Amino acid sequence: MPRLRWETLDLLACWTPVESVAGHTAGLRRMADLLVEHLAHRLGATIVADGLALDPPVVHARIDRGKGRRILLYNMYDVMPATAEGWSVAPFAGGIVDRPGLGPCFVGRGAENNKGPLAGMLVALEALIAADALDVDVEILIEGEEESGSHALRHYLGRPGTPVRPAVAALFPSFCEYGGGRPRVYCGFKGIVHGTIRSVGGAWGGPAAAIHGSNAPWIANPAWRLVEALAVLAEPPTGFLFRTPLPPVWRPMLEALAAGFDPDAELAFRRTERFAVPGDAAERLEHVLTSAVLSLSRLATDPADARGVIPHAAEARFELRLPPGATPETVLADLRARLADAGCADVELRAADGFPGIAFAPDAPGLAALVDAYRDQGADPQIWPWAIGAAPAYAFAAVAPAFLIGGLGHGGNAHGIDEFVTLEGIDRFLSSLLAWLPAIAPKGRSRDDERPAP
């Protein structure tokens, strides 16, 4: 295991300096090129050129070993932007830091989300192939747009005659011992829509350009108009919209999850002192799983940070998070209708991009093997019907009957300062993959098992 750990760290040290962030075309292309080189030379993979023509590139590789069964491994090479302020090491240099209470860690942008898991995934895969311990063929998809909507990948998977071949299951290896707590497994994901809500001065009132704040008694303010519109759309303090019914098939899993749920540990992990909703563990878990929420990530006026003026525009950036069963088109139409009914039709709700959520099956292929891999390492997993975060899992339904995220390993501060993974966490992650991947499609399965569920 030490050798595989250092191979993983070597890849991280090579990849961390590459600023593969949204809008940085050269950085994204460089990272894609490094992955193509590694896959072709270290794993002997065949690279499918179709994906590389996309912007940003989708690295699509195949490892055909004549096994007649196939798994699909997914991961991502894009990361969030970062500045050096507050970091122990430069975020796009990275390095090993001894963190209090955690021991030695690799710190750098992408260490947890998701260059660290990507490096470990490829190192584990190479080790399994070298040992002839993997009785499947492998399809690999690595995208560079997960942090900004996965548009290219979704198009690639959704187009007629997609080059992506059917598989027993699609797997997203990640560090899932969040906050150092019990590892999690997810059988699906919520969907998401990104967009803005904007109020601009015009016929309804409000100035066409910023004016002196002394006019406030008789000139309407677009910032207050925006506040009025937000109150129409969603309920504070969370932005709650509605809940979808929890399908009965998931009720046993929810009850098992609630029985072992630690609310204090969850709050500590979220760096929060209290929940925004009342109830016991089962009620809160059902609420977070089934709620559609209009989450606000930015409020701004134009001009920004001005004093003593009435701005001519105000804008909120939102992420509309949707449970499986709620479609972006239907929810957006309902929100626009709410604005119109409340006399706020002048307030523009603009959706930039989005996709629906999906829940696969409680007995999804690969799930039992993942749980066993956790337990082999002495870990008792939490099994969630779906993640409360978003990922383009729905797009994989055309090629696989399951899309699972899982893996041991403790990392933290994704999207934040001093993003890290513990060195022990790398070892645990590698161990879990070395047990999980060979167990997904054991000998004796037929080609019919690759066909996705209708």
14-25 residue pLDDT tens: 999 999 999 999
Query: What would the pLDDT profile of 364-389 be if each residue is shown by its tens digit?
Result: 999 999 999 999 999 999 999 999 99
Position 213 scores a pLDDT of 96
Q: Does residue 61 surpass a pLDDT of 90?
A: yes
Which residues are bridge partners to 170 per DSSP? 72, 403
* 15, 115 Cβ separation under 8 angstroms: yes
Q: Does residue 454 surpass a pLDDT of 70?
A: no
Query: What would the pLDDT profile of 265-307 be if each residue is shown by its tens digit?
Result: 888 888 899 999 999 999 999 999 999 999 999 999 999 988 9
Question: By three-state DSSP, how is residue 7 classified?
Answer: helix
Q: Does residue 407 surpass a pLDDT of 50?
A: yes
Cα→Cα distances 350→112, 217, 303, Å: 32, 30, 20
Of 114-118, 157-161, 177-181, least confident by mean pLDDT is 177-181
Position 150 scores a pLDDT of 92
Percent of the chain with pLDDT over 90: 89
Most distant CA pair in the chain, distance: 79
Residue 297 CA to its chain's centroid (Å): 16
Question: By three-state DSSP, how is residue 421 classified?
Answer: strand
Q: Does residue 451 surpass a pLDDT of 60?
A: no
Q: Which one of 3.50.50.60, 3.30.70.360, 4.10.320.10, 3.40.630.10 gives the CATH number of domain 2-187+360-450?
A: 3.40.630.10
Cα–Cα distance, 81 to 86 (Å, whole number): 14
Which residue has tokens 């193509």?
Answer: 36
pLDDT band at 448 (very low <50, low <70, confident <90, very high): very low
Cα–Cα distance, 250 to 243 (Å, whole number): 15
Of 40-49, 63-72, 201-210, 239-248, least confident by mean pLDDT is 63-72
What is the average pLDDT score of the chain? 93
Token output for 26: 């050269």
Strands 313-322 and 291-302, by their bridges, are antiparallel
Position 435 scores a pLDDT of 94
Question: By three-state DSSP, how is residue 314 classified?
Answer: strand
Percent of the chain with pLDDT over 70: 97
* 343, 349 Cβ separation under 8 angstroms: no
> What is the b/e burial string over 261-297, where b = at least 16 CB atoms within 10 angstroms of the residue's CB?
beeeebeeeeeeeeeeeeeebeebbbbbbbbbbbeee
Give the domain ranges of the chain: 2-187+360-450, 191-251+288-355
Which residue has tokens 């992990």?
Answer: 269
* 402, 366 Cβ separation under 8 angstroms: yes
Position 447 scores a pLDDT of 40
CATH number for the domain running over 191-251+288-355: 3.30.70.360
Residue 157 CA to its chain's centroid (Å): 17
Instruction: Tell me the average pLDDT across 421-441.
Output: 94
- The contacts of residue 57 (CB under 8 Å, 6+ apart) are 28, 29, 32, 51, 144, 152
* 310, 379 Cβ separation under 8 angstroms: no
Q: Which element (helix H / strand E) includes 100?
A: none
Instruction: Choose from 145-159, 215-229, 434-448 the range with maximum mean pLDDT.
Output: 215-229
pLDDT band at 149 (very low <50, low <70, confident <90, very high): confident
* 408, 374 Cβ separation under 8 angstroms: yes
Position 270 scores a pLDDT of 85
Position 453 scores a pLDDT of 40
**DSSP string over 238-256:** TTEEEEPPPPGGGHHHHHH
Position 441 scores a pLDDT of 72
Instruction: Tell me the average pLDDT across 181-203.
Output: 94
**In this structure, what DSSP letter does residue 146 have?**
G
Question: Considering the entire predicted model, what is its pTM?
Answer: 0.89
* 337, 349 Cβ separation under 8 angstroms: no
Closest CA to 406 of 363, 364, 367: 367
